[in-house]
Amino acid sequence: MKLSPLELRQISFKKGFRGYSPLEVDTFIESLADDLEELLGKMADYKDQQDRQSKTIAELEKTEGALTETLLMAQKAMENVKANAQAEGHLIIRQAEVRAEEITAEAVRRETQLQGEIMNLQRAKGYLVEKIRGLIHSLERDIQWDEKDTSELGSDLSSKMKI
């Protein structure tokens, strides 16, 4: 069961005779809702950042294609140049290839990093959701115990009043 911050804020519990303080429960739920809202906002920010990085990668791949095409044109032009011009052309080509590899490697590294961050956020979200579920389950169990204690107290009073 996934809960949004709004749904979490709208949760209400029955009030028992000796139950938890409604103010404390409401304050705690509000705090959890704020934390969940913050995590969801961060996840959205990371998703936006990943989208921007994906666009950057696409642009870099396009640039790499343009660089490759430029290199092919440079090779054709070098065939018509003297030996020393060929050596200089090969140096320029190698520098361009190294830079293209560096750009590609950096883009892949950044994408991997963002994917890792997204996975960490998803794990954190899962942990928080499970923690909230556990808390809700614990609160429900405590409320049931309080209701049981209240009903036993009522039956004890009834039996004493009949005597």
Supply the CATH classification number for the domain 20-156: 1.20.58
The residue ranges of every structural domain in the chain are 20-156
Residue 142 to residue 131: CA distance in whole angstroms: 16
Q: How far apart are CA 148 and CA 141, in angstroms?
A: 10
Proportion of the chain above pLDDT 70, given as a percent: 86
- Compute the distance between CA of residue 87 and CA of residue 47 in angstroms, rounded to an integer: 46
**One-letter identity of residue 15:** K
pLDDT in tens, 15-54: 767 777 778 888 888 888 888 899 999 999 999 999 999 9
pTM of the entire predicted model: 0.35
Largest CA distance in the chain: 121
pLDDT of 162 reads 65
